[in-house]
Structure 1
Amino acid sequence: MSEAAETAAPEVPSEPIMSVADAHALMTSPGTPFAMEETEVRGLKMRVWKEAKQNLRELFSVVKDHGDQEFVVYEDDRMTYAEFHKAAIALSHILKDKYGVQKGDRVAIAMRNYPEWPIAFFAGAIIGAVMVPLNSWWTGEELEYGLEDSGTSIVFVDEERAFSITPFAKRLGIKSVIAARASKLPDTDATVERFEEVLCPHADYAKLPEQDMPDVALDPEDDATIMYTSGTTGRPKGALGTQRNICGNVVGLGIAPVRQLLRYGQPLPDPENMPKRSMLLSVPLFHATGLHAILCGNLTSGNKLVMMFKWDPTRALELIEREKINSFGGVPAMVWQVVEHPDFDKYDTSSVVSVGYGGAPAAPELVQKIKTLFPASSAANGYGLTETSAASSQNAGFEYQAKPESCGPVLPVCDAKVVDENGNELPTGSVGELWIYGPNVVKGYWNKPEATAESFTDGWLHTGDLARIDEEGFIYILDRAKDMLIRGGENVYCVEVEDALYSHADVMDAAVIGIPHKVLGEEVGAVVQVTPGSSVTEGDLQTYVRQHLAAFKVPVKIELRTEPLPRNANGKILKRQLREEWGLV
């Protein structure tokens, strides 16, 4: 192990020297990188980041400044910022001129994390297209819904998604399915093209001409993204994000790392001389964390992103050593898989200086494990949803060590409160539903006014999570008010799986519950009442659900019963009783 890995991080000082409120006031004062100003957003007064880029065109414009520095590494492919800049602009002109994509048109991406993903995203974004990142784990049926609901005109895919989408692409009026890195294409009457023929092969990016972006005017409140999140009705909902949502998130990323140093009297970094970092991209780009925080955040800083074909902890350790990774993370499950890997000590991980995670509950002991194995690093977690455009609160470094059960205070531009069932704010320390307000909260749900009205009140997002907020403003997520579980960072709404089970002819009743899992957080379990005389098996139902829903939503355990499931006087299934019967409470 190198000398750097043997250098222990300083112990957390006994007490902070200033409050969170005082630190935020100092950090956001005029003239600082985190300066704020008040403005009107959709008729509501909000604090916004004064230095934030106003739209994705402005955000993309910084790419050219990073020149020949490496931007993306994937297997043996390496793409510089200069190559990325040329490729994205060239593709933006093709989208506009060849396919007629205009501001407001929807352009989808349904592919695994390939270097073509960010090229496609920014090519559409800089001409004002509303980008629709679709979950590449979805089945063809789920992808069909997302494409039809969004009204997508062009979709970028990988080989597997090309075969999933083409059966219905023509019916949906999709102009072209553009497939990256496909060894073969489906035989179909839909228009399917190779990414490398639409643009050019990766090796030729550097030969593309220098061009200006197509001239398109974008405002901060223009639509930018539709990102789908599972819905309580069984159908995913498209969270409609704005230019301000995604660009503001980039500024907010730096709050917790700086605040914890300030509060504990530690030297602050020089923003003019920040070293370039190398980050392992372990989460999907179709997630708000992957897109908003990691892709856009690192692009702005000129950092290197190292992609993986799929998540694998052994490959992660290999890449940490090979690429001298400074930062990695994802959901807690991924970090656990790395830190508990049987061959961990065989790899040089001394380059790691930051381990960050979110998207699912994290055990408090994880921060101590990180501190032991990566002594020169700082651990961080955070809380956010698709509807808050990634993180709305952060906990890092000394603050995280002091309060490892918390996901930190909200960002200075945000407000948070805990409310009762009638939306009335509760006193400090009380448990209730967490509501969040700020410029990072999305407009609402695409084409779903009723769902929007249910989840948004005067700019406040009803998170559906039960929480308490302490006297310093630190948030503690205690449970989920919505009937949902989180498996490895993926939201699984129970009703979605229950609906799939209900649609089977042999199922009379169904209840989905979470099964605790150390690595994944939770797995999907189900209790089902079958019809009299049914011969259906657990395996039959698992196969049936797999035909309709993504693999991560398929129950790993299904208990078959012939008796009715327990219900209360109002007819609601008593899931707590089912958990007790399974020994989970």
Structure 2
Amino acid sequence: MNKRQAKISRITAEGSPWEIQEVETRGGKNKWFVNGPQSLRELFEENLSDETFFVYNGEQYTYRDIYKKASSLAYQLQRTHGVKPGDRVAICMRNYPEWPIALEAITSIGAIAVAMNAWWQSEEMEYALNLTGVTVMIADDERISRVMKLSRATDLKIISVRCGVLDFATPIESLIESNEPMPPVSINPDDDAVILFTSGSTGHPKGSVSSHRNILAALLSWEVDFLLNLNLPDSHFRMEEFFSEPANREIALLAMPLFHVNGMHAVLLSAYRQQRMIISMYKWDPEVAAEIIDREKVTTVLGTPAITGDLVEYAKRTNRNLKSLRSTGGGGAARATSQVEEIGKALENAVPFTGWGMTETNSIGTGIYGQEYVENPTSSGKCSVVLEIATVDEGGNLLPQGERGELVVRGTSVIRGYWNRPDANKESFIDDWFRTGDIAFIDELGYLFVVDRLKQLIIRGGENIGCGEVEDALLDHSAIIEACAYGVPDQRLGEAVAVSIYTDSDLADEAILQFLKSRLAQFKIPQHIRMCASQLPRVASGKIDRRCLRDMHIEELKPANSEC
């Protein structure tokens, strides 16, 4: 047993707050924190306090404030909107305080919170609403205006957030101030809690279904990772004692959307047991973020490489080292090696960390922290305590350690499947192993290295974009004969969306972009368009040669351009 494994054994031993046992979950055995909360409702109720929890644009709410309002909303959802356990209730808004209020209310009465992408346009929203059978939607004015374009809108009960008076909607203010207690509901750890959307390699996004157990396993596993990285000799050390010290209290900047698994889990839900204060931004702006960090003494920022890269560049440009920052977490995509090195130089006290995870694993998977990360900047770290990782060949056979293959993962935080998509479930699982679509290898020390992607996905600023989704939208245009989407390198975002289009018409780039505005969220609209006057190249099977087109486009984006 190596030192890391020995320390894990001490932290998770019998009687510990993080004691792990194997339990039966959905027909199989998985590792579980038996002394932790058994539902999200328990998580909320066990951590009520008068500590400041959520701050937005000058508004401040304690943990007790948010729960009190959530209790009133939960009561009204049951009584006036008829929400029952298992019903789906959508949340679609910016990162307002009403977001955690809605999440607490929905999941505490056994309903399922459908976290809809606030950047989606009307057609994307319609697909998600139809897929999940949402009956009630809690949304702000911008999202409501998109929903009202749909015929489906007449079937929805809409609760409006920070809107004017709307004849067809109930303002949330009238539902969260009734001082009603949280309705009594029995919740099983394996009951469905949240649906988050993830872009697949083809077609529409899929709804990943997470149970209370899936989510809580991720949250408590992060706590174990935190204790491992403290390198303290006392095996009886309690994390809650550390965070009870005022000097150690974390203040997090919420820069990622809460409909994203990292925003919801790694920032919001992980705050409860640590009593972390969260400061929410209206939208990302590095200059505004730096002002907030300095003024409010923010200690941690978790974001995509684009977000942390923006902070590094701003600090270098302005000679502001944002010295209150103690950690800068990554997620959603790999950081450039140069950024890992520059974090410690530009941000005086900030320790970098990152990991590999997916929506389907509830954001955890592997992690790497501090000097270990600086020394291994291309690695995603070692496996979390409730999971196992491996690689497989094309036939799904497990490969020896060190061999490249498709990364697979199994364990307590892995979703049970996709909502109403048996086809996707069959494709994504080999028995209890989940196929990630990443090509990787695991070295002899247990470090994970992700080297490529099998699935046809573009990762732009931490957001997954399905190539098929972009192509489907383009092919709706009558003048476009063929379309192929792919990612090209982008210094800030990691990848930018690019397309090659075959058309025999005189079609301008601007016309294509205008056509896509009503069909795709802004972040999915191509930044680079390559027009071709002949059929796109094929591989031997007859499929469009995506890799060839991508390579040609990258070359053409260099100073010298050439025709297709």
Flag whether TM exceeds 0.5 (same fold): yes
Taking CA–CA contacts closer than 8 Å with sequence separation of 6 or more, which of the two structures ends up with the larger relative contact order? Answer: 1
Please state if 1:254 is matched with 2:223.
yes
- Residue 248 of structure 1 aligns with an amino acid whose one-letter code is A
Cα drift, residue 57 of structure 1: 1.2
Partner of residue 296, structure 2: 323
Partner of residue 564, structure 1: 535
Q: Is the 8 A contact 1:515 1:584 kept in 2?
A: no
Which of 550, 555, 563 is equivalent to 1:579? 550
- Residue 420 of structure 2 aligns with an amino acid whose one-letter code is N
Instruction: Please give the alpha-carbon distance, in whole angstroms, between the structure 2 residues aligned to 1:310 and 1:244.
Output: 31
Instruction: Please give the alpha-carbon distance, in whole angstroms, between the structure 2 residues aligned to 1:525 and 1:155.
Output: 33
1:1-80 equivalences under 5 Å are 18-64=2-48, 66-67=49-50, 69-80=51-62
Q: Is the 8 A contact 1:281 1:328 kept in 2?
A: yes
Partner of residue 245, structure 1: 214
Partner of residue 356, structure 2: 383
Partner of residue 306, structure 2: 333
Please state if 1:495 is matched with 2:468.
yes
Partner of residue 180, structure 1: 161
Please state if 1:218 is matched with 2:202.
no
Instruction: Please give the alpha-carbon distance, in whole angstroms, between the structure 2 residues aligned to 1:300 and 1:226.
Output: 23
| C-alpha RMSD of the superposition | 2.2
Please state if 1:120 is matched with 2:97.
no
The change in CA–CA distance for 1:538 and 1:372 in structure 2 (over 3 A counts) is same
Q: Is the 8 A contact 1:429 1:469 kept in 2?
A: yes
Q: Is the 8 A contact 1:318 1:347 kept in 2?
A: no
Please state if 1:141 is matched with 2:110.
no
The change in CA–CA distance for 1:268 and 1:362 in structure 2 (over 3 A counts) is farther
Please state if 1:465 is matched with 2:438.
yes
- Residue 522 of structure 1 aligns with an amino acid whose one-letter code is E
Which of 508, 521, 528 is equivalent to 2:501? 528
**Bigger mean CA offset, 436-445 vs 384-393:** 384-393
Cα drift, residue 484 of structure 1: 0.7
The SS at the match of 2:99 is helix
Partner of residue 10, structure 1: none
What number of residue pairs does the alignment pair up? 552
Partner of residue 164, structure 1: 146
- Residue 120 of structure 1 aligns with an amino acid whose one-letter code is A
Partner of residue 553, structure 1: 524
- Residue 26 of structure 2 aligns with an amino acid whose one-letter code is R
- Residue 176 of structure 2 aligns with an amino acid whose one-letter code is L
The SS at the match of 2:495 is strand
The change in CA–CA distance for 1:267 and 1:563 in structure 2 (over 3 A counts) is farther
Instruction: Please give the alpha-carbon distance, in whole angstroms, between the structure 1 residues aligned to 2:290 and 2:236.
Output: 31
Cα drift, residue 548 of structure 1: 0.5
Cα drift, residue 580 of structure 1: 2.8
Please state if 1:104 is matched with 2:77.
no
Which of 175, 189, 192 is equivalent to 2:169? 192
Cα drift, residue 488 of structure 1: 0.5
Instruction: Please give the alpha-carbon distance, in whole angstroms, between the structure 1 residues aligned to 2:454 and 2:36.
Output: 33
The SS at the match of 1:407 is coil
Instruction: Please give the alpha-carbon distance, in whole angstroms, between the structure 1 residues aligned to 2:346 and 2:79.
Output: 52
The SS at the match of 2:354 is strand
The change in CA–CA distance for 1:169 and 1:507 in structure 2 (over 3 A counts) is closer
- Residue 58 of structure 2 aligns with an amino acid whose one-letter code is D
The change in CA–CA distance for 1:527 and 1:115 in structure 2 (over 3 A counts) is same
Instruction: Please give the alpha-carbon distance, in whole angstroms, between the structure 2 residues aligned to 1:580 and 1:148.
Output: 38
Q: Is the 8 A contact 2:315 2:347 kept in 1?
A: no
Q: Is the 8 A contact 1:358 1:382 kept in 2?
A: yes
- Residue 340 of structure 1 aligns with an amino acid whose one-letter code is E
The change in CA–CA distance for 1:223 and 1:342 in structure 2 (over 3 A counts) is closer
Q: Is the 8 A contact 1:332 1:519 kept in 2?
A: yes
Cα drift, residue 109 of structure 1: 0.3
The SS at the match of 1:137 is coil
The change in CA–CA distance for 1:146 and 1:583 in structure 2 (over 3 A counts) is closer
Give the alignment's TM-score, normalised by structure 2.
0.93
Cα drift, residue 265 of structure 1: 11
For residues 34-79 of structure 1, give each alpha carbon's deviation from its aligned partner in whole angstroms, at most 9, with x where no partner exists: 3210111111121122233111110110232x22x11111111111
Instruction: Please give the alpha-carbon distance, in whole angstroms, between the structure 1 residues aligned to 2:149 and 2:346.
Output: 49
Instruction: Please give the alpha-carbon distance, in whole angstroms, between the structure 2 residues aligned to 1:267 and 1:359.
Output: 34
Partner of residue 196, structure 2: 227
Instruction: Please give the alpha-carbon distance, in whole angstroms, between the structure 1 residues aligned to 2:550 and 2:212.
Output: 43
Q: Is the 8 A contact 1:435 1:463 kept in 2?
A: yes
For residues 389-427 of structure 1, give each alpha carbon's deviation from its aligned partner in whole angstroms, at most 9, with x where no partner exists: 111211112321232211111111110001101111111
Partner of residue 293, structure 1: 266
Partner of residue 541, structure 1: 512
For residues 97-149 of structure 1, give each alpha carbon's deviation from its aligned partner in whole angstroms, at most 9, with x where no partner exists: 11111101110001010011000111111001111000000001111111111
Q: Is the 8 A contact 1:92 1:214 kept in 2?
A: yes
Q: Which runs of 4+ in 1 moved over 4 A?
A: 169-172, 263-270
- Residue 553 of structure 1 aligns with an amino acid whose one-letter code is K
The change in CA–CA distance for 1:372 and 1:423 in structure 2 (over 3 A counts) is same
Instruction: Please give the alpha-carbon distance, in whole angstroms, between the structure 1 residues aligned to 2:549 and 2:460.
Output: 19
Instruction: Please give the alpha-carbon distance, in whole angstroms, between the structure 2 residues aligned to 1:380 and 1:527.
Output: 36
Partner of residue 70, structure 2: 88
Q: Is the 8 A contact 1:485 1:493 kept in 2?
A: yes
Q: Is the 8 A contact 2:315 2:346 kept in 1?
A: no
Instruction: Please give the alpha-carbon distance, in whole angstroms, between the structure 2 residues aligned to 1:433 and 1:31.
Output: 38
Which of 255, 272, 278 is equivalent to 1:282? 255
Cα drift, residue 291 of structure 1: 1.0
Cα drift, residue 170 of structure 1: 5.3
Percent identity over the alignment is 37
Instruction: Please give the alpha-carbon distance, in whole angstroms, between the structure 1 residues aligned to 2:68 and 2:519.
Output: 40
- Residue 36 of structure 1 aligns with an amino acid whose one-letter code is I
Q: Is the 8 A contact 1:23 1:263 kept in 2?
A: no
Give the alignment's TM-score, normalised by structure 1.
0.90
Cα drift, residue 346 of structure 1: 5.7
What residue ranges of structure 1 are gaps of 5+ in the alignment?
A: 1-16, 201-207
